[in-house]
Amino acid sequence: MVPARVRARRGADRLRRSRAHQAAFHLWARLRQVSTPGKTAARVQNAQRGARVAILRARWNDEITRALAQGAVQAALAADAKVEEFEVAGSFELPPAVAMLARTGRFDAVVPLGCLIRGETAHFDVLAHAVARSLAELAASFPVAIPFGVLTCETIEQARARSSPDHNVGAEAMAAALELVALRHAMASSTERASRSAATARPRSTRTKRRRSPGSR
């Protein structure tokens, strides 16, 4: 009698050899490849080329947000993405504008950029929490890449340090958005191939039954 552990191992081996399991395995292999630094596949890089990206800038703290937008544009152009730029009054207006742009279906990513600097009242805390929560909800709701590109700083010096050419949060937000775009393309492509494989593969039991049918060849 074959031990249960041996039977389980044999069953796992059969599953591993099945086409459906191979398709699922390759899907997760690609996802790991996308998220592993230094090991981005060529097809992921190709997905970033031609990506349609909207940069949405809040004009409040204009000096800082212009620098953020400049970094984001440079990062997008370096990846051969197509960029359109939009503006709103302040960071509080970013979430509704992001939603409007995402609903158009014209963009693979919408990159909101803003800057909040603490003042003497609780206004900073109220805005920072409201903007962060709203953008997070939008990012989880739309099939569009929506990163977080809003600075929340104690001083203007901190904001300048994070919008400089050496450390630019706008460029970082754009890079994160393009990575999400590539991830979505990789998942869609893998799912499509897995569906085609499942549709064309005939169950073994069906093939056996057909061979045993009288008069069949």
The tens digit of pLDDT for each residue in 18-45 reads 433 343 333 333 333 333 344 444 444 5
Whole-prediction pTM: 0.69
Based on the residue annotation, tell me whether 167 is a catalytic residue of this protein. Answer: no
Catalytic entry in 21, 26, 123, 167: 123
The tens digit of pLDDT for each residue in 77-99 reads 999 999 999 999 999 999 999 99
Number of H helices, E strands in the chain: 9, 4
pLDDT greater than 80 at residue 16: no
φ/ψ region of 142 (left if φ > 0, alpha if ψ in -120 to 50, else beta) reads beta
Instruction: Kindly list the domain boundaries of the chain, sorted by start residue.
Output: 42-189
Mean pLDDT calculated for residue range 109-134: 97
Residue 206, token pair as written in the block: 């069906």
Residue 13, token pair as written in the block: 């081996």
Query: Which homologous superfamily is 42-189 in?
Result: Lumazine/riboflavin synthase (3.40.50.960)
Residue 99, token pair as written in the block: 């939603």
pLDDT greater than 80 at residue 60: yes
Which DSSP state fits 202? P
Give the mean pLDDT of the chain.
Answer: 79
The pLDDT, as a whole number, for residue 175 is 96
Residues 6+ apart with CB under 8 A from 214: none
The pLDDT, as a whole number, for residue 148 is 98
